[in-house]
Amino acid sequence: MRRLIILLLALSMPFQARAFQLDIGKIKSLVTNASQLREVDEKQEVEIGSGVASNLLGAAPLMPDAHVQKYVNQVGRWVAQQSERPNLDWHFGVLESNDVNAFATPGGYVFITKGLLLNMKSEAELAGVLAHEIGHVLKKHHLKAIQKNAQVGLLADALSIATQSSKNTEALNKIAGVGTELYARGLDKEDEFEADRIGVVLAARAGYDPYGLPLVLQTLANINPQDSALALMFKTHPAPTARLEALDKTMPVNLDKYATQPQLATRFVKTLELNQEKLK
Amino acid sequence: MRIMAIIFLFLQVGAAYAVEYGYTVRSTELKDAPFSDAKTLATLPEKTKVEIISRQGAWLQVKEQQQGWVRLLSLRTGEGRATGGDSGLKSLLNLGRSGNTGVTVATGVRGLSEADLKNARPNPQELEKLRQLTIHPAEAQKFAANAKLRAQQINYLPEPSQTEKTGSSNPASFGGER
C-alpha cells in the first residue's frame, strides 16, 4: 500500500510542476498584457500626447510669430495629409528656443525649434524634418515607449476614461511626465532610422524634393558636435552621418526620380525674411 | 571689441558660403552627366575633397581634377573631417545665446536641455494657442497648389536587410563619427 502511494506521488509530481510553471507563465503574460500590450485607442493616444505637448511647451513656449507658425502648419498639414492618418488633428509649432531639435508627441503634435528652422534653406528641408516627426506619430514610437516605461496601474488609471475622477487626471499627468522624460533619453535608434525612411517618402508624396531631410542632416553634420545647442539632439539620435549612410542604402533606387521635385527655397526664405527681426 | 567679433563672424559665414566643398565617403564614380548610366570619367577614392558647383536632382556637379557629377549621398559637405568643420553657424547660435553655456537650470532660463525636459511643467495656455494654429486640410491643399506641389503615390521604403544595416546600427560608430 505504502509503495503504491509513493508511486502515485512520484507520478503526479511532474504534473504538479508543469501546472505550476503554467501558472507562472500565465501570470507573467497577464502582467505583460497590462503594462505593455494594453490597447490604447485614438482618443486616449491624443490625450496622452496633448499632456506631453503641454509639458514640452512648459519647457519652451511657442515662437511669438503667427505668420511663421501658420506657414509651418501649412507645410506640416499638407505633408500629414499624404500619410495613412490624414484624419488626426495635426498640430505644428515652432518652439522659441535656440536649441537645434524637433519633437513629436502621440496623437499628432509636432514641434520644431527656432534654432533648427534657422539652419534650413528651403521648404523641402522643412517638409522633410516635419515628415520625420510625422513618421514617429504614425508608427506610435513614443506611445509604445511610454507604455513600456509606465507602471502597470498608472497607465490603467490614466486610461480609465469611464471614471473622470481626480485620480484619473493625476495619473494622466504622471503619464505625461513619463512621456516628457522620454524626450531627454530618446527613442530606440531603429525608430529614428525608420522615421527617416518614412520622412523622405512623405516629403516626396507631398510633391517636394525628398532630399530635404538628408540636406538638413548634412548641415547638422557640419555643426561642431560640441555645440551645446545640439547636445540633446545628438544624445537622443544616431549621428547625422550614420543616418545619411542608412538613407543612402534605400533612397537612390526608390526616390531619385522624385529628386527634381520643387525645393521651394524662395517661398521659405521669403516667409522667414519677412519675420527676420522677430526670428533673430 | 564686440563689434569686431561680430564683423569677423560675418566674414567667416560669407567665406563658408562662397565656395562649398565636400568629400567622398566612399570610392565614388565621377560621371559626365547626372545619370547612373552616364559615362564614368574617373573613380574618386574615399575622402577625396571636391568643390561643389551645382545640384541637379540626386546629383551634385563637382570639380576635382576634372569636372563631373557624383551622387548627392556619396558626398558629405564640409572639409572632410568627421567631426565637422565650423560653418559659422555654431558661433552665430552661441551669439544668440548670450553666453549661455547650455546648463540652463542654474540660470533659470527656460530651454530644452535634458534637465529642462525632466523638470518641465504643463503650459495649458500655450497648448491652447497651438490648437488655434491648426490648419484645415482644404487650406493645406490650397497652399500646396499655390506652389504647384503635386501629390504622388509612392510606397514606403523597405527596411535595409540585416547585413546591410550593421555598419550604421553599431553603437560604437555613433560616438566615433560625431
Helix, strand and coil content of chain B, in percent to the nearest 5, comes to 40, 20, 40
pLDDT of residue B12: 47
Write b or e for each residue in B163-174: b if 16 or more Cβ atoms lie within 10 A of its Cβ, otherwise e.
Answer: eebeebbeeebb
Provide the shortest C-alpha distance from residue A14 to chain B (in Å).
42
- Check B102 against A183: CB less than 8 A apart: no
Q: What is the distance between the alpha carbons of residues B122 and B111, in angstroms, rounded to a whole number?
A: 14
ipTM of the complex in this document: 0.81
Query: In this complex, is the C-beta atom of B138 within 8 Å of any C-beta atom belonging to chain A?
Result: no
Test B120 with A214 for CB contact under 8 angstroms.
no
Instruction: Note the helical H segments in A33-159.
Output: 42-59, 66-80, 114-117, 123-138, 141-149, 152-159
Of A98, A228, A256, the CB nearest to B57: A256
- A55–chain B Cβ distance below 8 A for any pair: yes
Alpha-carbon gap, residue A202 to A89, rounded angstroms: 17
Q: Kindly tell me the number of DSSP H helices and DSSP E strands found in chain B.
A: 8, 7
CB distance from B71 to chain A under 8 Å? yes
Cell, residue A181? 522624460
Residue ranges in B85-136 assigned as alpha helix (H): 89-96, 104-107, 114-118, 124-132
Residues of A in contact with B128 (CB under 8 A): none
Q: Which of A1-10, B20-29, B112-121, B145-154 has the lowest mean pLDDT?
A: A1-10
| Mutate which: A56, A111, A198, vs B, most B CBs within 10 A | A56
Interface test with A, best of B37, B98, B117 (most A CBs within 10 A): B117
Nearest to B117 among A98, A184, A221 (CB): A184
pTM of the model: 0.79
Give A168's pLDDT tier (boundaries 50, 70, 90). confident
Q: Per mean pLDDT, which range of A89-103, B40-54, B87-101 is the poorest?
A: B87-101
A195/A176 Cα distance (integer angstroms): 22
Residue B134: its pLDDT value, please? 95
Q: What is the mean pLDDT of residues A140-160?
A: 80
CB contact under 8 A, B85 and A219: no
Q: Which residue of A has its CA nearest to B91?
A: A227
List, as ranges, residues 189-208 from A with C-beta within 8 Å of B.
189-190, 193-194, 197-198, 200-201, 204-208
In the predicted structure, residue B108 carries a pLDDT above the cut 50: no
Q: What does the pLDDT look like over A4-25, one tens digit per residue?
A: 555 555 555 544 444 445 555 5
- Please check the confidence at residue A74 and state whether its pLDDT lies above 60: yes
Which of A189, A245, A251 is nearest residue B167 as measured by Cβ atoms?
A245
pLDDT at A170: 78
A241 in contact with B, Cβ within 8 Å: yes
Percent of chain B with pLDDT over 70: 62
pLDDT at A39 over 90: no
A75, A89, A95, A228, best to mutate vs chain B, most B CBs in 10 Å: A228
Q: What percent of chain A has pLDDT over 90?
A: 62
CB atoms inside a 10 Å sphere around CB B125: 12
Q: Is residue B67 within 8 angstroms of chain A, CB to CB?
A: no
Yes or no: say if A193 and A243 are a contact pair by the CB < 8 Å rule: yes
Name the pLDDT band for A1 (thresholds 50, 70, 90).
Answer: low
Q: Taking CB atoms and an 8 Å limit, are B122 and A54 in contact across chains?
A: yes
Which residues of B are less than 8 Å from A248 in CB distance?
73-74
Q: Give the model confidence (pLDDT) of A192-210 as tens digits.
A: 999 999 999 999 999 999 9
Strands B49-56 and B20-24: what pairing?
A: antiparallel
Q: CB-CB: which of A115, A180, A239 is closest to B117? A: A180
Q: Which residues of A touch B69 (CB under 8 A)?
A: none
